[in-house]
């Protein structure tokens, strides 16, 4: 269908064109009073006649432009008035015609590019390792091979986890009356989990991170537990459908691992109650947005006095790698003191067996990802309730995700896989093009900062300094091309292609050791290892580094192409670039200064004005209702992303306008009689064309920090006066409301 469309487009344009325009042409054609193709705009909403160039003079017919045009036309629905609902105007046909594959929970721009990435990485890691190949690349191929060897995984059965479990005292629900309660403590289980490669965070979270108030050094952080099901579900109790499904999953899995069903139903209900209690004493996400409230430094001696139910010096020292130790004078940061106050009481009143069943359930649930199909089939049934997913991914896709570190489980070799990927597939010109866009978009935000009337001069100066010192990481770090550096990094890691679960756990120990070993080392905010995951379709802002990062994986496809007009790139990757820059000044990012230190650099009156503007965004998005689930969005939890979306699209639009002023008007795409400005908005909207399963949408709204894709288009665009002007939207239409929100 697309091929036929392209041929049709070329025939139509060539029949009316003497000299096809190219992307480099700067000549302007005579404006038309009534542009052909006006039927694309229902209800007499049309582009500005004086801005549309004559199709015969100004149409881009390069392969890149023809491909871009076909993608735009495939997605849009011209029966929708763009002033009523620009998301469905831009994405309506995509939403009608796209089916979500059984193994997926959503289809969108990210997943389309992700599918291509998977194919590319598969070709790289499925090759047999050469004898002379650098160790990091052998490791990636060994891991992929271990994952793909289903025959051996089935032969080994549940033995890998049973062996580990027995060495840790066993899972009480399986051991029955032979479980040794007297010889078990939850603190010892945490140490054992650390040693074996499991998470240490089932009861309380332990990590080594950069000190929020002194970003030149690291500190030990203690936080509330990470539960197996999101807090937002667990606090609803066993009456909730999702919690019931989680409980049934626990019981069935215990039975598959060897437990008696009657015993499992009784004992695991008690362990689930402990997990629900952990959730209930945890702080909700709405109350975790104020970083200062989460920064509570104290010495270990003070920690011991406040929370005496743990021998803290011993607890911490056993978790740290060999050669590192602390004493009672060590300063640690406690994120949620109220959690630690309640945790002691909870542990005291909960039977030891229930706690043991809970933590042993967690390691078995983790191990299931890497074991037999019988176990994974039951895991899929639970996943279907939670996310709507109907089938497992093809095995090779799952193994690529595990190898590249982009799967649902946080393990893998992202640096190895990423190094293989960029050497074979990354287009180097994408780096310079993206950097040019970053600089242009940053200049527009600088202009905004200089002009906002509600900001005092002192705060404005600090904001400008923060923006100007924001570091940029594009594509990949140069070190990833240096085999010696890669070999040094992976020196302590070995993978056995015949022992899948054990290899995964080895990687976990390796990663934890690397992280914890940084405790006494000076912070290097440009450390290449921190920016060496290029094979992902995502982008990042780090408040502690004051840096933005755009990995190689996102600099392609719908987001970026050097072979199409700039308005398409500014609408897509430009929007993302602006979004990440603005994160430095959203409700959380604004709490950190130019050096990444948590410090209040806002004068009180300016802060009050900012919070009022943020409140407008909170209320705007909090009043949106998702039609698929009937749920209202959480305006508080999504405010940071929404502020970044609103600022990002504005900055990118202004940057494109400035670029266009300097370089001259760009040609149209064939079959799309829109102005460059209108195409910017179209590109921005189509970046977020997304179709979700209802269960996934519910989970996203309940637990996520991003608004659903529809509102990432409707929200920012309806706040933009320039959009209303470019599409002639009368005031009072849905896309040009009288009351608009604007933070930046």
Residue 122: which residues within 8 A CB-CB, separation 6 or more? 396, 397, 400
For the record, the structure tokens of 193 come out as 């989990």
Outline where DSSP puts E strands in 106-237. 106-108, 204-211, 214-224
Tokens describing residue 501: 């679960």
Active-site residue, 527 included? no
The single residue listed with the structure tokens 């994986």 is: 553
The residue behind tokens 């008690």 is: 270
Contacts of residue 176, defined as CB under 8 A and 6 or more positions apart, other chains included, come to 260, 263
Angstrom distance (rounded) from CA 631 to CA 625: 6
Q: Where are the alpha helices (DSSP H) in 54-108?
A: 63-75, 86-97
- 142 with 495: CB under 8 angstroms? yes
The contacts of residue 470 (CB under 8 Å, 6+ apart) are 442, 546, 547, 548, 581, 584
Q: Which residues of 392-429 are buried (b: 16+ CB within 10 A; e: fewer)?
A: bbeebbbbbbbbbbbbeeebbbbbbbbbbbbeebbeee
- Residue 312, exposed/middle/buried by CB under 10 A (0-12, 13-18, 19+)? buried
Cα atoms in the Cβ-side hemisphere of radius 13 Å centred on 449: 23
- Element holding 334 (H helix, E strand): strand 331-334
CA separation for the pair 138, 556 (Å, rounded): 27
Place of tokens 């900001």: 455
CB atoms within 10 A of CB 605: 12
Q: Which residues pair with 204 in a beta bridge?
A: 224
Under 8 Å between Cβ of 687 and 605: no
What H or E segment, with its residue span, contains residue 437?
helix 429-451
Percent of the chain that is helix, strand, coil (3-state, to 5): 55, 10, 35
Half-sphere exposure of 268 (CA within 13 A, CB side): 26
Q: How far apart are CA 134 and CA 416, in angstroms?
A: 10
From 645, 695, 710, 726, active-site residue: 645
Is 154 catalytic? The answer is no
Sheet holding 331-334, edge to edge: 204-211, 214-224, 331-334, 296-299
What's the distance, CA 196 to chain centroid?
A: 28
* CB burial readout 442-472, b (16+ within 10 A) else e: bebbbebbeebeebeeebbebbeebbeebeb
471-475 and 540-542 strand pairing? unpaired
- Cα–Cα nearest to 298, from 207, 220, 226: 220
Q: Token pair for residue 706? A: 């991003």
Terminal CA-CA length for the chain = 42
Catalytic, out of 580, 695, 710, 726: 580
Residue by residue, DSSP assigns 700-744 as HHHH-SSPPHHHHHHHHHHT-HHHHHHTTPPTTSTTS-SS-----
549 DSSP β-pair partners? 473, 540
Active-site residues, by number, are 580, 645
């Amino acid at each position: 269908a697309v091929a036929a469309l392209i041929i049709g487009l070329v025939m139509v344009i060539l029949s009316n064109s003497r000299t096809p325009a190219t992307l480099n042409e700067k000549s302007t054609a005579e404006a038309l009073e009534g542009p052909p193709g006006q039927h694309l705009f229902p209800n007499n909403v049309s582009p500005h006649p004086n801005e549309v160039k004559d199709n015969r003079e100004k149409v881009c017919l390069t392969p890149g432009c023809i491909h871009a045009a076909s993608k735009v036309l495939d997605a849009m629905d011209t029966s929708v008035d763009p002033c009523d609902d620009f998301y469905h105007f831009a994405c309506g046909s995509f939403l009608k015609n796209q089916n979500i594959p059984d193994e997926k929970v959503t289809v969108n721009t990210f997943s389309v590019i992700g599918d291509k990435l998977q194919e590319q990485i598969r070709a790289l890691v499925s090759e047999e390792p050469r004898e002379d190949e650098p160790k990091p690349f052998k490791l990636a191929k060994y891991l992929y091979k271990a994952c793909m060897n289903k025959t051996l995984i089935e032969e080994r059965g549940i033995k890998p986890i049973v062996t580990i479990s027995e060495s840790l005292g066993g899972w009480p629900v399986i051991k029955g009356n032979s479980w040794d309660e007297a010889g078990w403590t939850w603190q010892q289980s945490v140490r054992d989990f650390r040693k074996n490669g499991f998470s240490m965070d089932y009861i309380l979270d332990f990590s080594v991170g950069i000190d929020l108030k002194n970003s030149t050094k690291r500190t030990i952080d203690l936080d509330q537990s990470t539960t197996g099901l999101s807090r937002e579900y667990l606090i609803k109790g066993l009456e909730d459908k999702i919690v019931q499904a989680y409980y049934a999953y626990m019981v069935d899995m215990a039975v598959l691992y060897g437990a008696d069903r009657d015993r499992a139903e009784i004992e695991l209900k008690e362990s689930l109650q402990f997990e629900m209690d952990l959730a209930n004493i945890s702080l909700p996400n709405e109350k975790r947005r104020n970083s200062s409230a989460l920064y509570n430094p104290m010495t270990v001696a003070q920690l011991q006095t406040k929370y005496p139910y743990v021998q803290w010096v011993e607890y911490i020292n056993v978790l740290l790698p060999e050669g590192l130790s602390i004493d009672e004078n060590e300063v640690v940061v406690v994120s949620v003191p109220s959690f630690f106050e309640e945790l002691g009481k909870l542990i005291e009143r909960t039977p030891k067996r229930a706690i043991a069943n809970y933590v042993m359930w967690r390691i078995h649930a983790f191990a299931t990802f890497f074991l037999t199909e019988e176990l994974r089939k039951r895991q899929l049934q639970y996943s279907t309730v939670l996310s709507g997913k109907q089938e497992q991914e093809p095995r090779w896709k799952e193994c690529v995700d595990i190898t590249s570190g982009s799967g649902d489980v946080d393990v893998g070799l992202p640096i190895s896989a990423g190094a293989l990927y960029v050497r074979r597939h990354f287009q180097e010109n994408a780096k310079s093009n993206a950097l040019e866009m970053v600089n242009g978009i940053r200049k527009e935000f600088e202009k905004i900062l200089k002009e906002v009337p509600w900001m005092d001069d002192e705060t404005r100066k600090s904001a400008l300094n923060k923006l100007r010192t924001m570091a940029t990481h594009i594509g990949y770090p140069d070190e990833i091309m240096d085999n010696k550096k890669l070999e040094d990094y992976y020196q302590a890691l070995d993978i056995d292609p015949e022992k899948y679960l054990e290899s995964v756990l080895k990687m976990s120990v390796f990663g934890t050791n690397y992280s914890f070993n940084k405790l006494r080392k000076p912070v290097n905010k440009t450390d290449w290892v921190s920016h060496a995951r290029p094979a992902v379709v995502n982008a990042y802002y780090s408040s502690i580094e004051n840096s933005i990062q755009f990995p190689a994986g996102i600099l392609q496809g719908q987001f970026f192409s050097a072979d199409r007009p700039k308005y398409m790139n500014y609408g897509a990757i430009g929007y993302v670039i602006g979004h990440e820059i603005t994160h430095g000044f959203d409700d959380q990012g604004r709490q950190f200064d130019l050096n990444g230190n948590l410090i209040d650099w806002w004068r009180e009156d300016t802060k009050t004005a900012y919070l009022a503007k943020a409140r407008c965004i909170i209320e705007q998005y909090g009043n949106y209702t998702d039609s698929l689930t009937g749920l209202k969005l959480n305006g508080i939890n999504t405010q940071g992303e929404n502020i970044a979306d609103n600022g990002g699209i504005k900055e990118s639009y202004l940057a494109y306008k400035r670029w266009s002023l300097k370089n001259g008007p760009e040609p149209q795409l064939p079959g799309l009689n829109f102005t460059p400005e209108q195409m910017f908005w179209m590109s921005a909207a189509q970046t977020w064309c997304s179709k979700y399963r209802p269960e996934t949408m519910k989970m996203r709204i309940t637990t996520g920090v991003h608004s659903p894709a529809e509102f990432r288009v409707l929200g920012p665009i309806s706040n933009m006066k320039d959009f209303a002007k470019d599409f002639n939207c009368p005031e009072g239409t849905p896309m040009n409301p009288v009351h608009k929100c604007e933070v930046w």
